[in-house]
Amino acid sequence: MISSFTVTFFVPESSDWQRGFTTIPHTARTTSHQMATTTKNESNELMLERAARRRRRQATEQAIVAWLLRAAALISILTTVGIVIILVAQSAGFFAEVSVWEFLTGTEWAPLFSPQKFGILPLVAGTLLVAVIAGIVSLTLGLGAAIFLSEYAPERLRRVLKPILEVLAGIPTVVYGYFALTFVTPILQSIFGQDHVIVFNALSAGLVMGLMIMPMVSTLSEDAMVAVPRSLRDAAYALGATRFEVSTKVVIPAALSGIVASFILGVSRAIGETMIVKIAAGATPNLTLNPLESVQAMTAYIVQVSLGETPQGSLEYKTIFAVGLLLFAMTLAMNIVGRWVISRFRQQYE
């Protein structure tokens, strides 16, 4: 006989089950979460601190760079102001003994001889005569080279010719001076005759000076022509224009401001040139427009008096600063005219 019995199972309540089996894991997860949160907060704080240090370092670097740039600009300004102050202060002693009217309108310049003459016009005429010849040569050859490089030359040929052309700007001016004296002058004498062309003349100095400043004119003019939009050229070609007509009637007028600026910059460089006119043009203060004669430029006279034979503080010594002040005024006037031309004829393209 099989007897029956009852098996009773004890099932704890849900709250006891949760308390007995889930309390410890939940506490562990809470602690782990808090630790993770703390670590994350510390990492965020570290990243913020690093970012703040980086910003402070960048701000310091930018401030240093800004002050260095200001110092560079200030040095250039102070240098110009210092030059003007020295020229004016030293020239004041000269003009205390020589009237400004006599200095600017006199036609004889002989401060180192007796009787002394202080008319600056022969030096100004010699300087401008050489500069005009150099300007004609540089504008003709430089503009032609710029048109060829920008409109005619293939890209591969342009990459070769442009650096070769720019090498001319790196040749010392002393070399140019002796080149004019020993090579160009004999050619001029064979053309015009030795009776008409003396060894030292303004024409040879002007021709060689034009070759010297030609790279400046051609490079700046070519850059201005390249900046002209291609659409203007395409429109001219669509109307049946030839390449020469596009170059002369479309590209050059559109790049006129850059071309004029390059020309004025080149002529200013020619006015301030020293060694070429000192070696090739001569040292005769001659008021003439004949380029086959010997002339003396303003810079050449400054070199002549600065050789150390003139007593410092004398009237002859002070003529250096008077001539330098007038030369500075001439170049400044040309730069002002150049800036006006650029602002007047400048064209901006999108």
Q: How do residues 59-74 score in pLDDT, each as one tens digit? A: 888 889 999 999 988 9
Quick one: pLDDT at residue 53? 84
Separation of first and last alpha carbons in the chain: 113
- Which residue(s) pair with 117 in the sheet? 110
Q: Burial code of 195-228, b = ≥16 C-beta within 10 A, e = fewer?
A: eebeebbbbbbbbbbbbbbbbbbbbbbbebbbeb
> Mean per-residue pLDDT for 23-32?
54
pLDDT attached to residue 136: 92
CA-to-CA separations, 115 to 109, 110, 111, 241, 293, in angstroms, rounded: 10, 8, 8, 65, 24
pLDDT at residue 64, as a whole number: 92
Dist. CA 322–CA 120, nearest whole Å: 10
Burial class (CB in 10 A: 0-12, 13-18, 19+), 156: exposed
State the chain's maximal CA–CA distance in angstroms: 166
**Which is more confidently placed, 316 or 136?**
136
Q: What is the 3-state secondary structure (H, E, C) of 134-148?
A: HHHHHHHHHHHHHHH
Q: What is the pLDDT of residue 30?
A: 60
Query: What mean pLDDT is reported for the chain?
Result: 83
Q: Rounded mean pLDDT of 41-55?
A: 79
Q: Is pLDDT of 15 > 90?
A: no
- Nearest CA-CA partner of 205 in 271, 302, 145: 271
Q: Which residue has the higher pLDDT, 160 or 348?
A: 160
